[in-house]
Structure 1
Amino acid sequence: MSTAQLNASAPVLSPAVGYGIVLGMGLGFAVLMLGITTLTTRYSAHSASESSEEYTSASRSLKPGLIASGIVSAATWAATLLQASTVCLVYGLSGPWWYAAGSSTQIMAFAQNAIQLKASSLIPPALNAPGAHTFLEVIGVRRWGTVCHLSFMFFGLGTSTFLTSQLITGGANTVNALTGMNTLAACFLIPVGVVIYTLVGGLRATFFSDYIHTVVIFSIILAVSFSTFATNDTLGSPSKVYDLLQTAALNYPVGNAAGGSYTTMRSLNGFVFGVVVMVSGSVYMDQTYWQRAVASKASTSVKGYILGGLAFLPVPWMFATAAGLAMISLSAGPSSPFQPISLDHAGVVAPAAMTALLGKSGAILLLIALFLAVTSAASAELVAVSSIITYDVYKRYFNPHATDKEILRMSHVGVIGFGLFMGILGVIFFEIGISLSWLCGILFEHRFCTGTFASAGVFPVGLAIRSRRAKKSGCLAGLWIGFTCGIAAWLATAKGYGGAVDVTTTGGVYEQLAGNAGSFFIAAIVSMTTTFLFPANFDFETTRRKNAFQPEDEETKESAAQDADHEEKPLPEDLKDDLAQDSETAHGVQVQNDAPDAVLYKDFVLSVWLTIGIFVVLCIVVPALMVIPRIWSKAHLLLQLRLLELTSKQAGFTFYIVLAFLWTFFAAFVVVVYPLWESRGALWQLWRGILGDLALAH
């Protein structure tokens, strides 16, 4: 075996590099975000320090390109890059595909929730809450009572807590793995810079950091992809990679895959993993996604989510395919220059590949990207949890008539408090031995524990937001029964397959499938059955009257108190006359939609058909075609374009890689170039303001 071997389990950088990035880059990034926030405040009409609406919802003014960029950033956690590469090692190229396809269609499905919060006339499906800041506010305004509101809040905050635990623990473990930096120090130092710029800039600063993070992510994707398939001395082309993968299949075959091959979609475990991804429901219960729906313009909210879903696809697909297959190819046999990565250390595939392809600079580049992934997602969670604390706890239960200044002050308290909680939570998980692998499900992302927890809320929340017929008792029962059944199925499967319930057995793929599917389907059956058999008849005029900064009047307070534990009732006819007045601006913030409701309804219908169509293509049609050949060939692009070749052995590894590159270029344009183009007017205004101040200074 070659002496120039990579020990993937050992840190490839010094602890000084870790401290330098966490401290230096963290604070430097905070200073940059503070500078951008200062410029925005001075040269635009938006000031996060003067308006709670701007602080928590970016004045509901963000355009689709920036929304799409923010969605990609929010979905690209540190675990996304690490675990997507891991499933490539474990399942071959089927792992990244299922990861990408399942996650992307979930994001696009969320577009309907975004538009549901915007349409303000009585049109099917007749929902609107233009002034809502959280999905829990809509549930609260439905007058489902305190028990229902607190139950959904428990799952909403619980989902954020699980995701935050993955953020900090995963970020700290990654920094430690790459540099040897003290894990406890990383747990506390990582949130510092995030809290600083989030505290000052609010949600708009989060979107700015999202954009920078997305630019770095796509730079890394292109760098590792071109190195693997074009420039690397050992690899350098799809043809060479393919040949080495066949050698690797002989020496280190994939379990439960056709011929042990890395170039096949016939992987049983890979398919099970795909199902786990598709039934995971953390998107619906994660307030960060709702926050982006709140911040978007009504006329472009669907566009932002559809573009975001399409643009996210190459992140786990292209990156993991390039990094994972590169590491497999570079360690294909005894004469290869690098040692093979064992399944026990499968989580280091991404950093090992970056180091093997690009040297220490590659490891540094990945570390920067992972750090930005942690800080960007942490910033989004800070604003999300702060919004829940402010609007669903403080304003609803303690100070219903809170002024704008009081709301803003509570938002700041929420950011600081949850920031401290992030660090403490990371230390607790580290001390009790809960690692990133367990949190992510032993080789997977947040699909097992968070999925089991959050999947129970998908249908109850969806019905509450979308349907006037949603039954309070059915949705509440579905939430808790689904969650209970999911936990029971998860633990019972762990006991049945592993013989014990411990950290190792609870993270297996079949255990995840049982837990996620149990929560998802039982909750769906209970909530939908009760809604169908005993439908309510809620008038969404209540939610349409829920506008920014509008305190509850005495009639609403009295009615809410009387109906707290009863089914919702239609509003009197005279309240409907207030709709036009309620749609006006509040405290200088535009609450009225910027598009006619008929147009918004057409957007809703379009998003439904697009989501269904893309799901069918990505998760059914394409995999069905890709499993026709038992093991893929090296087919070139021109051969693959012949339809008959699809039914032969020529599955087309080369064509697959070319397609991944093309999709990556499209996604990079959407989330890197397009946001700049659509904001060219604001950027020009900012530049003119700076030049004007410089001229006055002289």
Structure 2
Amino acid sequence: MAVIACFISLGFGKIQGKLYNLPTTLDSTFDAGGKIKSGLIIANTMCQRTTMTTLLGSSAMVIQYGISGSYWYAVGGGIQLVLFAYLTFAMKLRAPGAKTALQYIKTQYGTDVHFLFMAYFLFCNFVIFAGLLVDATNTINEFVQDLMPEFSSMLLALLIGGYTIIGGLGGTFYVSFTNSAILFFMIVFFQFTIHVYLPQGYSTIMGNQTQFYNVLACSENRTLISNNSILSFGSNEEWKFGFSNFFFFFGYTVLDQGAWQGSIASKPRSGVLGFIGGGLSWMAISMGLATSVGLVFAYLDAIQPSQILSEYDINRGLILPVVAQELLGTTGIYVLLILILMAVMSTGSSQVIAIASIIVYDIYIPYFQPYAKDLQDGICELCNKGFSDVFGEFLHEDTCRCVSMLNCEVCRKDDKIRRKAAEAKETLVMPHYTCNIHKDYRVYQETLLKFANWCVVLTTIASVPVIWPLTSIANAYNLDLVRIFLVCGIFLNSGWMPMALAVLWRRSTSMGLISGCISGLFVGVFTWFLVNISEGEEITLVTSTAIDPLLAGNISSLVTSLLVTLAVSAAATRKDEARTDKGLKIINPLTPWVEAYKNDLYKDRNTDMDASERYIDTPSKEVLNNVYKNWRAIALVVPLGLTILMMIVVPLAMQTQVMSYSQLSAWMIVSFIWTILGMQFIQISTVLAVILPLVQFVGEVVEGRSDNKEVGGMWGQKKRVRMKSIDTIASTLS
């Protein structure tokens, strides 16, 4: 599987390289060119969210909370991705050139806030990565007897690191697309088996619904936590679980650099569609699989003379393996193992890229190896001259006139010579750059690219000595690391709301953000501890991760951080003192972000920009807001509407102590349609996740060939509006 993923990553990279003649650069490693289409964002978002817990733990929610457990797990854990669409949209308009969310924080709020949120992001990525690999290691060890944990950790590192190193972020998107197709196919295979075909002696859900319903309705088995019927929907414990899930996953979404990568790799429009579609697609997977597998397990358990699994085994996520083996035998185990490896590949690679990008862009470049140390605002790092927004000062000898590499004829000649030398394979030493403006910076970027590749390698390798001891310690002392990771959500919930305000609220201040994070952390932990004591039971890992303590800790941490950030920031500024956005000036002089936005900017003939090719000349925030004003409304209204519908309207409409036969039939049909017909390209979100990337890629092939024929040259990019050069402007003024 690792070899196949490497070939996919390498193959798509080669194809796009031939079409557009785009070289591999530092930025393209971490933003995949910045123009990834929405279909790939949907597939990548859905695959990143599909973890071991999604596959193995979601079906346990049906046994713990009833049939609504799978719904609350899916909606409570996936609606954040839908809401996240608006936050990423706002970030793309404020800092289109940022390669990490933390880059914007440093530019806008300074070093102190940057260090604070860097700690949050790295902690979040570590928890996600560690939790994923520990779960995967334990699960693989369950399937394969006498397999040492250190060996399985090495296998997972090889599986994740191989194609990530080869293809960078762009490679992970195409592998995620392949994974999404395989995931849907495998889950549809499970669904078809459960709904249509079961071994002789069992009653299928779709074949004999009456018998299936009677067994569940008459069962004496009760849900483990809510102590209700398996067919209940809407008890107090179920509502608590849903909203606890809702608040818990926000921290793991907003403070996860892996989640931001989908936005960084796309334009605002594609990002909005990608996160909304990705969230809906993930809900389809988790709800459909968990509902079917959970109910079938309850059915199988009810017709057996004794319990199939103990409560401990259910909490370990063994429901799906038991159902797969019972219904499909050895084939079911192989299918499940493929699903697990697919989940580890996509989520693991995204975390490797996320951690490496933070190390490169937020630690190494700004604090250890900047291109120009002590560079002041408004000074070009290429020529060390000042920028000017005054049109007439283009003629001044002390004003920067540096163009981007994309618009530099000398750089194009350099690239043509180096490309021919690489194709000839006559020498290992490439010809030197000759462009006086860009040559030093290009060498600097190539050095950083080598460092970034080593970061990806070392991050992957470092997972082995980190995960193996964690797994060994947990097994030796019988620790449940999943419960420990649940407690970590309280820490993260103190940081995600200040992070959101830092992007959305223009009056946010550094002191307000720091105060909000620290106060939210202390209040959240104190409330969590206080609720634990008030329960009157001995404080253990099990009792401390119950619904009530976690819900209280998460909500208090969230609310406190929000109120303190608002109060401190509002007290320090007046309404007319809103900060100016500095994020638009986060620019790579070689490949400025405005090049990727030109088609969108010039679709509106009323949009006008300074007639210049300087890399620093970018459209104002007003221009960007006007171009994407319709998508801003979509990014706000659609997620809010879906949240109200799924978190309030649907649960209230379905609320009942025991579902009737007709209600269960309708609910199962909805679940059946959402997953099975989705794979057959009827359900919209699944169509976007599986079909749209292929259509868009074919379109890119045609467009790329057309552009290369029409324009030619190194970059092969057709420009709808050719901006006048500075020399032309200068001659006109003179």
TM-score range, shorter chain: 0.7 to 0.9
Q: Is the 8 A contact 2:48 2:346 kept in 1?
A: yes
Question: Is 1:613 the counterpart of 2:654 in the alignment?
Answer: no
Q: Structure 1 counterpart of 2:563, which letter?
A: I
The alpha-carbon distance between structure 1 residues 548 and 437, as it changes in their structure 2 partners (threshold 3 A), is farther
Q: Is the 8 A contact 2:507 2:579 kept in 1?
A: no
Alignment of 1:533-612 (within 5 A): 533-535=571-573, 537-549=577-589, 581-582=614-615, 597-612=625-640
Question: Is 1:37 the counterpart of 2:8 in the alignment?
Answer: no
Which entry has the higher C-alpha Rg, 1 or 2? 2
1:639 equivalent in structure 2: none
User: Could you tell me how far apart the structure 2 residues matched to 1:262 and 1:687 are?
Assistant: 57
User: Could you tell me how far apart the structure 1 residues matched to 2:328 and 2:178 are?
Assistant: 22
User: Could you tell me how far apart the structure 1 residues matched to 2:650 and 2:665 are?
Assistant: 16
1:634 equivalent in structure 2: 661
Worse-matched range after superposition: 379-388 or 228-237: 228-237
TM-fit CA distance, 1:155: 0.5
2:669 equivalent in structure 1: 658
Q: Is the 8 A contact 2:89 2:635 kept in 1?
A: no
TM, length-normalised to structure 1? 0.80
TM-fit CA distance, 1:498: 7.4
Counterpart selection for 1:410 from 435, 451, 455: 451
User: Could you tell me how far apart the structure 1 residues matched to 2:649 and 2:74 are?
Assistant: 15
Q: Is the 8 A contact 2:589 2:615 kept in 1?
A: no
TM-fit CA distance, 1:499: 3.6
Q: Indicate the SS of the match to 1:252.
A: coil
Q: Structure 2 counterpart of 1:168, which letter?
A: L
TM, length-normalised to structure 2? 0.76
2:688 equivalent in structure 1: 670
1:8 equivalent in structure 2: none
User: Could you tell me how far apart the structure 2 residues matched to 1:321 and 1:428 are?
Assistant: 35
Q: Indicate the SS of the match to 1:60.
A: coil
Q: Indicate the SS of the match to 1:313.
A: helix
Q: Is the 8 A contact 1:163 1:450 kept in 2?
A: no
User: Could you tell me how far apart the structure 1 residues matched to 2:611 and 2:513 are?
Assistant: 30
The alpha-carbon distance between structure 1 residues 322 and 582, as it changes in their structure 2 partners (threshold 3 A), is same
Question: Is 1:348 the counterpart of 2:318 in the alignment?
Answer: yes
1:94 equivalent in structure 2: 68
Counterpart selection for 2:564 from 516, 526, 540: 526
Deviation sequence 1:83-130 (CA, Å, 0-9, x none): 1111122112111101111222200111112211333xxxxxxxx111
Q: Is the 8 A contact 1:78 1:171 kept in 2?
A: yes
TM-fit CA distance, 1:51: 0.6
Question: Is 1:104 the counterpart of 2:131 in the alignment?
Answer: no
Question: Is 1:204 the counterpart of 2:170 in the alignment?
Answer: yes
1:516 equivalent in structure 2: 554
Q: Structure 1 counterpart of 2:470, which letter?
A: F
User: Could you tell me how far apart the structure 2 residues matched to 1:551 and 1:151 are?
Assistant: 30
Deviation sequence 1:533-580 (CA, Å, 0-9, x none): 43363544411111235799xxxxxxxxxxxxxxxxxxxxxxx99998
2:229 equivalent in structure 1: 261
Deviation sequence 1:162-181 (CA, Å, 0-9, x none): 00111110110111122233
User: Could you tell me how far apart the structure 1 residues matched to 2:479 and 2:611 are?
Assistant: 53
Q: Is the 8 A contact 1:178 1:351 kept in 2?
A: no
Counterpart selection for 1:456 from 484, 490, 494: 494
The alpha-carbon distance between structure 1 residues 482 and 238, as it changes in their structure 2 partners (threshold 3 A), is farther
Q: Structure 1 counterpart of 2:17, which letter?
A: T
TM-fit CA distance, 1:686: 9.5
Q: Structure 2 counterpart of 1:542, which letter?
A: K
The alpha-carbon distance between structure 1 residues 492 and 26, as it changes in their structure 2 partners (threshold 3 A), is farther
User: Could you tell me how far apart the structure 2 residues matched to 1:682 and 1:235 are?
Assistant: 49
Deviation sequence 1:370-399 (CA, Å, 0-9, x none): 111111111111111111111110111112
Question: Is 1:682 the counterpart of 2:700 in the alignment?
Answer: yes
Q: Is the 8 A contact 1:55 1:202 kept in 2?
A: yes
User: Could you tell me how far apart the structure 1 residues matched to 2:465 and 2:531 are?
Assistant: 32
Question: Is 1:363 the counterpart of 2:333 in the alignment?
Answer: yes
Deviation sequence 1:296-326 (CA, Å, 0-9, x none): 1233221111111222211110011111111
2:135 equivalent in structure 1: 170
2:528 equivalent in structure 1: 490
User: Could you tell me how far apart the structure 1 residues matched to 2:67 and 2:22 are?
Assistant: 46
**C-alpha RMSD of matched pairs (Å):** 3.0
Q: Is the 8 A contact 1:439 1:449 kept in 2?
A: no
User: Could you tell me how far apart the structure 2 residues matched to 1:312 and 1:490 are?
Assistant: 30
TM-fit CA distance, 1:62: 0.3
The alpha-carbon distance between structure 1 residues 154 and 544, as it changes in their structure 2 partners (threshold 3 A), is same
User: Could you tell me how far apart the structure 2 residues matched to 1:533 and 1:187 are?
Assistant: 51
2:423 equivalent in structure 1: none
TM-fit CA distance, 1:440: 2.7
Question: Is 1:386 the counterpart of 2:386 in the alignment?
Answer: no
1:227 equivalent in structure 2: 193
TM-fit CA distance, 1:450: 3.7
Q: Is the 8 A contact 1:494 1:511 kept in 2?
A: yes
2:601 equivalent in structure 1: none
Q: Indicate the SS of the match to 1:189.
A: helix
Q: Is the 8 A contact 2:160 2:344 kept in 1?
A: no
Question: Is 1:312 the counterpart of 2:282 in the alignment?
Answer: yes
Q: Which runs of 5+ in 2 are unaligned?
A: 372-440, 593-608, 707-734
Deviation sequence 1:586-644 (CA, Å, 0-9, x none): xxxxx999x953241321222111111100000000001111x3211111xxxxxxxxx
Q: Structure 1 counterpart of 2:116, which letter?
A: S
TM-fit CA distance, 1:423: 1.6
User: Could you tell me how far apart the structure 1 residues matched to 2:140 and 2:59 are?
Assistant: 17
Q: Is the 8 A contact 2:196 2:207 kept in 1?
A: no
User: Could you tell me how far apart the structure 2 residues matched to 1:389 and 1:78 are?
Assistant: 26
User: Could you tell me how far apart the structure 2 residues matched to 1:497 and 1:579 are?
Assistant: 67
User: Could you tell me how far apart the structure 2 residues matched to 1:579 and 1:86 are?
Assistant: 60
1:570 equivalent in structure 2: none
User: Could you tell me how far apart the structure 2 residues matched to 1:529 and 1:460 are?
Assistant: 12
1:70 equivalent in structure 2: 44
TM-fit CA distance, 1:584: 6.0
The alpha-carbon distance between structure 1 residues 579 and 152, as it changes in their structure 2 partners (threshold 3 A), is farther
Worse-matched range after superposition: 469-478 or 279-288: 469-478
Q: Is the 8 A contact 2:59 2:320 kept in 1?
A: yes
TM-fit CA distance, 1:463: 0.8
Q: Indicate the SS of the match to 2:370.
A: coil
User: Could you tell me how far apart the structure 1 residues matched to 2:653 and 2:668 are?
Assistant: 16
TM-fit CA distance, 1:343: 1.4
The alpha-carbon distance between structure 1 residues 657 and 400, as it changes in their structure 2 partners (threshold 3 A), is same
Q: Is the 8 A contact 1:441 1:508 kept in 2?
A: no
What is the total number of aligned residue pairs between the two structures? 601
TM-fit CA distance, 1:242: 6.7
1:641 equivalent in structure 2: none
The alpha-carbon distance between structure 1 residues 245 and 341, as it changes in their structure 2 partners (threshold 3 A), is farther
TM-fit CA distance, 1:339: 4.6
2:262 equivalent in structure 1: 292
1:186 equivalent in structure 2: 152
Q: Indicate the SS of the match to 1:394.
A: helix
Q: Structure 2 counterpart of 1:427, which letter?
A: W
User: Could you tell me how far apart the structure 1 residues matched to 2:490 and 2:206 are?
Assistant: 38
Alignment of 1:42-61 (within 5 A): 42-47=18-23, 50-61=24-35
Q: Structure 2 counterpart of 1:315, which letter?
A: I
User: Could you tell me how far apart the structure 1 residues matched to 2:110 and 2:5 are?
Assistant: 43
User: Could you tell me how far apart the structure 1 residues matched to 2:277 and 2:78 are?
Assistant: 10
Counterpart selection for 1:154 from 113, 119, 123: 119
Q: Structure 2 counterpart of 1:441, which letter?
A: R
Q: Is the 8 A contact 2:483 2:541 kept in 1?
A: no
2:469 equivalent in structure 1: 428
Q: Indicate the SS of the match to 1:117.
A: helix
TM-fit CA distance, 1:582: 4.5
Q: Structure 2 counterpart of 1:474, which letter?
A: G
User: Could you tell me how far apart the structure 1 residues matched to 2:478 and 2:60 are?
Assistant: 13
Counterpart selection for 1:440 from 457, 479, 482: 482
